[in-house]
Amino acid sequence: MRSDPSRAGWGLKAATWAGVLFLHIPLALIILYAFSAEDKSYVFPPPALTTQWFAAAWAREDVWAAIGLSFRVALISTALAMVLGTLAAAGLARTRFFGRDAISLLLILPIALPGIVTGIALRTAYHTMEIPFSFWTIVVGHATFCVVVVYNNAVARLRRTSPSLIEASMDLGADSFQTIRYVILPQLGSALLAGGLLAFALSFDEVIVTTFTAGQQTTLPIWMLQELIRPRQRPVTNVVAVVIIALTFIPILVAYYLTRADEQPNGR
Amino acid sequence: MSLALSAAAPVMPRGGALRRLSDLLYTRRGLLMVALLGPPLLWFGVIYLGSLFALLANSFFALDEFSGVVNRSQLTLQNFREMTDPANVDVVLRTVAMAVSVTLACGLIAFPIAYYMARYARGPQKALLYIAVMLPLWSSYLVRLYAWKLLLAKEGAISWVLAEVHMTWLLDAVLSTPGIGGNSLSFSRLGTFIVFVYMWLPFMILPIQAAIERIPGSLLEASSDLGARSGTTFWKVIFPLAMPGIAAGSIFTFSLTLGDYIIPQVIGDSTLFIGQVVYRQQGVAGNVPFAAAFSLVPIVVIGVYLWIAKRLGAFDAL
Amino acid sequence: MTVAVTLEAVSCVFGSGAQAVRAVDRVDLTIEGGEFFTLLGPSGSGKTTCLRMIGGFTLPTSGRILIGGQDVSHLPPYARPVNTVFQDYALFPHMNIRDNVAYGLMVQGVERAARHARADQMLDLVRLSGVGARRPGQLSGGQRQRVALARALINQPQVLLLDEPLGALDLKLREQMQTELKALQRQLGITFLFITHDQHEALSMSDRIGVFNNGRLEQVGVPQAIYNRPATRFVAEFVGAANVFDGARAREIAGVDSVMLRPERIRLGASPQARLSGAVIDAQYFGSFSRVRVDWGGEAVSVDLNPELHPDLPTPGDTVHLHWQADAVHPLQQGVAP
């Protein structure tokens, strides 16, 4: 429902913008701190501004190793999630059968239950089956909770796609595989891309399930967590934080623009 | 018309295995469903449900204290008995209390924002607000946590601001209050509370906004047409219809707070929350069975909460 | 004349047990090659399901479907020599018009230059030259409809299925398209199988009509036969306005149990030596005719009058005398024999 903005009370407007500021000031502060010359504490305001810490962060081996691991994990997990999520969406989007809602719930569960439950469940399973921690133990956890992100995007798009498009394609002589290639995938395209971007961001940032399934390995969030608990070189951490903000900012914005039309109830 | 349409040309069939497979999948819908849903269901069934089952099973094993090895040959309720120790019960109560207060605070702060977004914001302002709320939601949890570490630090921005307005005495008074205070804001219960509220705020804003947006404008018009003033319209029409959105948002804030172990560890005083106990037990203590048993607590609590939320209509708003 | 499509005892049942819905119930139908055949009926009567079974989008639960003599009952759509014009046109939004029309050739592997040339030819055929580079979203409803037609004809199908293609068009455009479709069909000589719920459309365009009701085919025949000699009460009332009498009244008029009398076959006369007389209930003016309802012992009889002959509408309450010729009365069967 829509009312004239000028009729909103000033109290309401103040509360709204105060809330938005509350959400964003901490992020702005981090960006400021990345340039702070002080390296022993979090003193405010920063005594001087410098860009030296960017070079220092660039030189840190452990940071690069963590970024590399996070990146590889996110890539593989996203790929797996995209396959599983698309298959599930294709199977569930327009069908109605007994148990359909239960399956939807199952897909959402890894994100709906607290991360600690998913994390310890996987940890327990690995422990019981005596599987050692490895790259794949992390990927399995990540792929599992990334599926629902891709699934939601794919289902939203499939619901907006007219089923007669598939029938028309087959009517004109294209078999199932040709139809997938020439009609279904192009229709799904941007939704899958958006889902993949979101899944990537989710995996890149995830820390709770990862700490349970990584053992001694260090992803970027785990690195960040260690720095939070026992700071080694505060300014470098600030710089890394700014880099993370930038890295996750972009996929989110792109994904938003790709699927804006799917959110509106009236579509196009 | 010089179109050679006299004789109907036959449709050229493509031969090959792919076409035969396509025929099979078309005529046997059941097979198609298996092909589509098989892989995801197998993954989720084996990996996810399987590990949840392993969790449940492990909670009935016990750690042999002398050998440090988990005894899998014998089922026992020892873990559950341990959980009734006063220390552990304290942990649970503390965590639930925090979850409830965070949920209430988030609701109070989120509602005006969501209301303004849904009812009054238009066009570019609306898109801006939406992105402004969505970005923190999706950007790194740890970075946002780190930002608060900076803000709350003894020498950080908040202390500085309070010093500038000569209100440091207020901060000292709060910090010396037992139960919510601590050495500094960044190591206190109050600090933990503030950070929780900050983290989950977007999760509360978006469902409420969606719920209010779904209220047809004609309802408000009908209400004022029947003589109600804006206050009455708000409490009698808008708020009840926004309730499912509030309930949906509260599921997130409650559940996320209940299971979190990182914020209490980074920002908190040294009292323990559920998540921390689980984390420590499976890590340092090597007592995976106890951790498993303890992690059933948040599951049960959330189950109860979900049941209450469902009665309030939260699932219609998700 | 060869037979284009045959349905042998075709049924389509959705669901099972107590909730089973017989969308199509043991239909037998033969459609000749080169004819314009219309499936006519209200929503839910089974005509669309029948079309979908012929196209291959729904599979029959029992019976056989033959196209050009070949049993296609369980073949997928891409293996059948039929093409469809869909109700919502189903143009591919991510392709331009030329690629849409050429799609059928593209999936067969025809190379680009040849298929683009053919596509342009087809667009000329439907009088839509020059829009090849545009996207479906940029065209009007009527133009999209022509594109759908061109796309469906490019594979030179034995049968063209048209699923209520004119439903979304406004009246003038519809009438224009009706004429064009009929002319196109004559020109190409392809069998057209047309679905509509509009009886005027069916009567004006078809060589033969099949009337559906509740999943059964109630009557098949040329338009004049359907209109003047309807087999059942349903057909009589669906195709045009009808006065239907049962029981004692029917026997009084014609000596059988059920009769139909079209309103336009009844005359208003001065002579009391009429078939029947009664008081006027109401009278309405429709421009090209006026409809008067006359009370006959509790039942309303509709009479359509030529306004030129009766410029003043009869007043409610007046007594009028109705005449008709013997052959205007048509006996009806009691429902369709199972």
Residues B182-211: pLDDT tens digits?
A: 677 778 888 889 999 999 999 899 889 888
Q: Give the separation between CA A34 and CA A53, rounded to whole angstroms.
A: 7
Asked if the C-beta of C108 comes within 8 angstroms of chain B's C-beta atoms, the answer is yes
Mean pLDDT throughout A132-158? 91
Search chain B and give the residue with CA nearest C159.
B8
Note whether residue B178 is domain-resident: yes
According to DSSP, residue B44 is labeled I
Chains that touch B (3 or more CB pairs under 8 A): A, C
Domain C3-236 has CATH 3.40.50.300: yes
User: Which one of C59, C109, C158 has the shortest CB-CB distance to B8?
Assistant: C158
* Residues of chain A contacting residue C82, judged by C-beta atoms under 8 Å apart: 171
Contact C261, C328 (CB under 8 A): yes
User: Which one of B51, B132, B150 has the shortest CB-CB distance to A122?
Assistant: B51
Mean pLDDT throughout A175-183? 92
Select from A20, A154, A132, A175 the least CA-distant residue to A84: A154
CATH topology of domain C242-331: OB fold (Dihydrolipoamide Acetyltransferase, E2P) (2.40.50)
* Residues of chain C contacting residue B31, judged by C-beta atoms under 8 Å apart: none
User: Which one of B5, B11, B23 has the shortest CB-CB distance to C188?
Assistant: B5
- Which residues 67-86 on chain A approach chain B with CB closer than 8 angstroms? 83-85
- Which residues 149-188 on chain B approach chain A with CB closer than 8 angstroms? 149-151, 153, 155-157, 159-160
Say if the Cβ atoms of B146 and A237 lie within 8 Å.
yes
According to DSSP, residue C138 is labeled G
In chain A, pLDDT over 90 holds for what percent of residues?
27
pLDDT score for C92: 96
pLDDT band with cut points at 50, 70 and 90 for residue A35: confident
Could you tell me the pTM of the whole model? 0.81
Say if the Cβ atoms of A29 and B299 lie within 8 Å.
no
Complex prediction ipTM: 0.84
Task: Please name the amino acid found at residue C104.
Answer: G
pLDDT score for A165: 95
pLDDT score for A2: 64
Q: Give the separation between CA B118 and CA B216, rounded to whole angstroms.
A: 11
Q: Give the separation between CA A224 and CA B199, rounded to whole angstroms.
A: 17
Q: Residue A182 sits in a domain of what CATH number?
A: 1.10.3720.10
Pairing of strands C329-331, C258-261: antiparallel
pLDDT score for B2: 36
pLDDT in tens, C127-155: 999 899 999 999 998 999 999 999 999 99
Note whether residue A159 is domain-resident: yes
Contact C267, C287 (CB under 8 A): no
pLDDT score for B28: 85
Say if the Cβ atoms of B117 and A16 lie within 8 Å.
yes
pLDDT score for B141: 87
B17-21, B102-106, B200-204, C157-161: segment of lowest average pLDDT: B17-21
Say if the Cβ atoms of C103 and A169 lie within 8 Å.
yes
pLDDT band with cut points at 50, 70 and 90 for residue A53: confident
* Residues of chain B contacting residue A221, judged by C-beta atoms under 8 Å apart: 140-142
Mutate which of B2, B11, B19, B26 to disrupt the C interface (most C C-beta within 10 Å)?
A: B11
Note whether residue A247 is domain-resident: yes
Q: Which residues pair with C296 in a beta bridge?
A: C299
Q: Give the separation between CA A88 and CA C9, rounded to whole angstroms.
A: 38
CA distance C84 to chain A (A): 7
pLDDT in tens, B54-100: 888 888 887 777 776 777 777 888 888 888 888 888 889 999 999 99
Checking if the pLDDT of A267 tops 50, the result is no
Which residues in chain C show pLDDT less than 50? Answer: 336-338
Q: What is the helix (H) or strand (E) element at residue B93, kind and residue range?
A: helix B86-119
Q: Residue B183 sits in a domain of what CATH number?
A: 1.10.3720.10
Give the number of other CB atoms < 10 A from CB of residue A10.
7
User: Which one of B147, B217, B260 has the shortest CB-CB distance to A2?
Assistant: B217
User: Which one of B21, B43, B216 has the shortest CB-CB distance to A1?
Assistant: B216
Tell whether omega for the bond before A45 is within 30 degrees of 0, i.e. cis.
yes
Query: Which tokens go with B178?
Result: 């037992």
Asked if the C-beta of C59 comes within 8 angstroms of chain B's C-beta atoms, the answer is yes
- For chain C, where are the E strands, in sequence order? 3-14, 21-32, 36-40, 62-67, 70-71, 82-85, 159-163, 191-196, 208-213, 216-221, 243-246, 258-261, 267-269, 276-285, 290-296, 299-305, 319-323, 329-331
Checking if the pLDDT of B148 tops 90, the result is no
Say if the Cβ atoms of B10 and C79 lie within 8 Å.
no
Pairing of strands C267-269, C319-323: antiparallel
Q: Is the dihedral of CA C200, C201, C202, C204 positive or negative?
A: positive
Mean pLDDT throughout B108-114? 92
pLDDT in tens, A240-259: 888 888 877 788 788 888 87
Burial grade of C320 (CB within 10 A; 0-12, 13-18, 19 or more): buried
Mutate which of B1, B2, B3, B29 to disrupt the C interface (most C C-beta within 10 Å)?
A: B3
Query: Which tokens go with B74?
Result: 């014998």
Note whether residue B294 is domain-resident: yes
Q: Give the separation between CA C148 and CA C77, rounded to whole angstroms.
A: 17
Strand order in the sheet with C191-196: C82-85, C159-163, C191-196, C36-40, C208-213, C216-221
Q: Is the dihedral of CA C175, C181, C187, C190 positive or negative?
A: negative
Domain total of chain A: 1
Note whether residue A12 is domain-resident: no
pLDDT band with cut points at 50, 70 and 90 for residue B11: very low
Domain of residue B290 covers 86-317
pLDDT in tens, B248-278: 888 888 888 988 888 988 887 778 888 888 8
Checking if the pLDDT of A147 tops 90, the result is yes
Mean pLDDT throughout A42-69? 81
Note whether residue A36 is domain-resident: no
Say if the Cβ atoms of A175 and B22 lie within 8 Å.
yes
Q: Give the separation between CA B185 and CA B148, rounded to whole angstroms.
A: 10
User: Which one of A5, A120, A144 has the shortest CB-CB distance to B48?
Assistant: A144
Q: Give the separation between CA B266 and CA B101, rounded to whole angstroms.
A: 19
The residues spanned by each domain of chain C are 3-236, 242-331
Chain B interface with C: residues with Cβ < 8 Å: 1, 3, 5-6, 8-14, 22-23, 26-27
User: Which one of C78, C82, C155 has the shortest CB-CB distance to A175?
Assistant: C78
Give the number of other CB atoms < 10 A from CB of residue C31.
24
Note whether residue A49 is domain-resident: no
Mutate which of C3, C70, C71, C78 to disrupt the B interface (most B C-beta within 10 Å)?
A: C78
Select from C221, C304, C202, C199 the least CA-distant residue to C262: C304
